[in-house]
Amino acid sequence: MTSRPIRIAMWSGPRNISTAMMRSFGGRSDCAVTDEPFYGAFLKTSGQRQPMADEVIASMDTDWSSVARTMRGPVPDGQAIWYQKHMPHHMVGDVSIADFPDHRHAFLIRDPERVVASYAAKRVEVTADDLGYERQLDYIDRTSQISGNPPIILDSADILRDPEAHLKALCAALEISWDAGMLRWPAGTRDTDGIWASHWYGRVVETTGFGGPDKDPTALTEQQQRVADSCQAYYEKLKGYAIRLSSAP
C-alpha cells in the first residue's frame, strides 16, 4: 500500500529566511517545494503595488479556491513530501488556513526590528500588516484548536545560530525523517522560484547554506521603529512557543 504524501505548510512573514528554508527542504531527496502560491491572488485582490506586481499576477493562478485545490491536490513529481512556502498576510481572500486541515503546519518568525530593516531595504514603506505577525498568531491558535497539538514555531535567529540542531527538531516535530541535504544546496535560481525572485532573492540565490548568526539591524527611521514596536508584543508571544532544542531527537 502506498503511503499518503505529507504536505507541509510553512507560514512565514517576509524577510524571515523563508526562501532559505525553502532551499533547505528543496535539498531533501524526497521533497517538492512551492513558492508563495497565493501571492498573485493577494496582489490582484488587495491592489497593492508591490515590485513586479503586474508580472506576478500574469504568471500565476489568481483564483483563491483554485490555488487551494492545487495545494491539496497531487504532489509535484510524485514526491513523498510537499513543502509549501506561505505568507499569512497574503491570505486576504476567501480561503484561510482552515482550508488545509490535512497539512502539517509550521511557523517561521523573526525579530521585528530585523524584519523591518531587511524589508525596508527592498521597499520604501512598510506597515505592520505587511509583516503578518497578528495573522500568524491567529493561524497558530486555529491550528492548535484543530489538531489539539502545540504549534510548531521556529525563530529564524535560532536556525541561523545552529541550523542542524533546529532543523532536526523541526523534522521531529513534523514527524518526518532527517535528511542532511537540508543543510547545503547549490547556488543559483530554481524553476520552482516565483517570478519575483529577480527582485527579492538576490542574496539567497548566491547562498549554498544558512548564513551565520543574525547581525544587529541597521538603524531604523522613526516611522520604521514604530512599525517594529507595534509588532513586538505579537513576536514575543510567538517566540514563547518556539521550538526548544530539548525537543530534538
User: Residues 212, 160: contact at Cβ < 8 Å?
Assistant: yes
Per-residue model confidence (pLDDT) at position 204: 82
User: Cα dihedral sign for 123, 229, 129, 7?
Assistant: positive
pLDDT at position 124, please?
A: 56
pLDDT for the residue 225: 94
* 245: Cα within 13 Å, side-chain hemisphere: 8
Query: So what's the pLDDT on residue 243?
Result: 86
Between CA 97 and CA 91 the distance in angstroms is: 8
Confidence (pLDDT) at 216 = 77
Q: How far apart are CA 231 and CA 233, in angstroms?
A: 6
* pLDDT tens-place values along the chain, 249 residues long: 357 899 999 999 888 899 999 999 999 999 999 999 999 999 999 998 888 899 999 999 999 999 999 999 999 999 999 999 999 999 999 999 999 999 999 999 999 999 998 877 766 578 898 899 999 999 999 888 877 888 999 999 999 999 999 999 999 999 999 999 999 999 999 999 999 888 878 778 889 999 888 777 778 899 999 999 999 999 999 999 898 775 444
Spell out the residues 6+ positions from residue 154 whose beta carbon is closer than 8 angstroms to its own.
106, 107, 108, 109, 166, 170, 242, 243
Q: What local confidence, expressed as pLDDT, does residue 60 receive?
A: 97
Q: What pLDDT does 180 receive?
A: 97
- What pLDDT, on the 0 to 100 scale, is given for residue 1? 38
